[in-house]
Structure 1
Amino acid sequence: MGGTFSLSLAKWARSSSPWLLHFNAGACNGCDIEVLSAICPNYDPERVGVLLKPSPRHADVLVVTGIVTNQTKDRLIRIYEQMPEPKAVVAVGTCAISGGVFHDAYNRAGSVKDFVPVLMEVPGCPPRPEKIVEALAIAASKLREV
């Protein structure tokens, strides 16, 4: 009984306070600036429990910006595999979703969803910080359902 209770308590705690890991797969830094703006006190993502963490082993949500290049695709997959379950991926920006202006670039390996399962996509070049916070809140609610 105690093991089941502690497991459900840990699952509730992780889904109520998702920890983020931000990964720049090859962005022009426009989306990165908006992601950093979204996690600052001005937009207060901590109201939904969001915290930025430096390690994939502690992260619940992977926020990916930019096109996935040939050099970063293996790193993206490795980071995703190192994250504990349940986990979610949020693709931020047009480049992460479809390639954007870099769609036909020689070094583009594909979109984020070609390599890892994406839960939420935040379109825009760059997207508004409010939309990023909204996507993070939705990802947190989806983690509760798992």
Structure 2
Amino acid sequence: GHPTRKCICSPKQVSGYLSKVSGPLLDRFDIHLEVAPVEFADLSSTAKEESSASIRERVQKARDIQNERFKGTSITCNARITSDILHEVCPVTYEASKLLENVFDRLGLSARAYDRILKVARTVADMDGAKVIDKKHIAMAVQYRSLDRKYWNG
């Protein structure tokens, strides 16, 4: 999976490695991403990046939205949304629904992956301050499931 180095493993070794993590197990993770190695130019850059305090503030605003949404329930965050209230808590626009349908069909996702994508999209929308999940929120949530597509989907 390295972006610039060719893998020296045999197909059998790769298959053996991937078989250690089953699709159903991977399905239980809300977010899975590959993280590319950091380039020297990025490490040595003097460009200003967003501060941790600024990021923390955005995350806290999203957490406040969730705390208000789930006040009086045992639910503590979007990841813990139960299936009986999923669609009530995760309203989507028509465009978002169509994108999710296309992704579901094209990638052959499971019902569990569908729920996970909706919950992550709910969090993305909260970070955006949006009450309704839009197409861009679904698209970002789908991007956070890259391993489904790269290694375990055919």
Same fold (TM over 0.5): no
Bigger strand fraction: 1
Q: Which has the higher contact order (CA 8 A, sep 6+)?
A: 2
TM-score using structure 1 length: 0.31
Bigger helix fraction: 2
Structure showing greater Rg: 2
